[in-house]
Amino acid sequence: MIKKVEITPENEKFLNKVNELSGQVVTLCEQCGTCSGGCPLVGEMDITPSQWMRLVQLGLKEVLDFKAVWVCASCFTCTVRCPRKIDVSKVAEALRQIILRKAIDYIDLKAIPKDELACLPQIALVSACRKFTG
């Protein structure tokens, strides 16, 4: 699907925020797809790393609505393979930070049945709270 995107000051502000938080220059991405081709978790993502990079390049906040940045394991395969030396996992972390700063909870611990909660490893619960709650 072809979509015309008009770059607005709001789009540029979002792009600059991601660049600032990640320490990367997202516009250097040439959309070769190497990050997506090497990603071990791409099959679990709703959009590929190269797609989320493109959305960020365009300054589109809709990238925050996809689960892909939460699925990213920050294994650095994309970073090692990127011909432009962009750390895509740092971009994913920046997007997670932006989402968390909005204080949107993606996991409700109260909704987990008590018998299941008792069986879960504590480190998994702590990690989930840090990663998925605001």
Mean pLDDT of 13-28: 97
User: What token pair was written down for 133?
Assistant: 């709650």
What is the pLDDT of the chain when averaged over all its residues? 89
- Extents of the domains making up the chain: 9-102, 106-134
Q: What percent of the chain has pLDDT above 90?
A: 65
> Residue 69 and residue 96: Cα distance in Å, rounded?
7
**pLDDT level of residue 125 (50, 70, 90 thresholds):** confident
* Each residue's pLDDT tens digit, 83-108: 999 999 999 999 999 988 886 666 67
Least confident of 1-10, 21-30, 94-103, 125-134: 125-134
Q: What is the pLDDT of residues 45-60, one digit of tens each?
A: 999 999 999 999 999 9
pLDDT of residue 97: 92
CB 59 within 8 Å of CB 14: yes
pTM higher than 0.85: no
Integer angstrom CA distances of residue 116 from 109, 125, 126, 129: 11, 11, 15, 16
Question: Which class is 9-102 in CATH?
Answer: mainly alpha
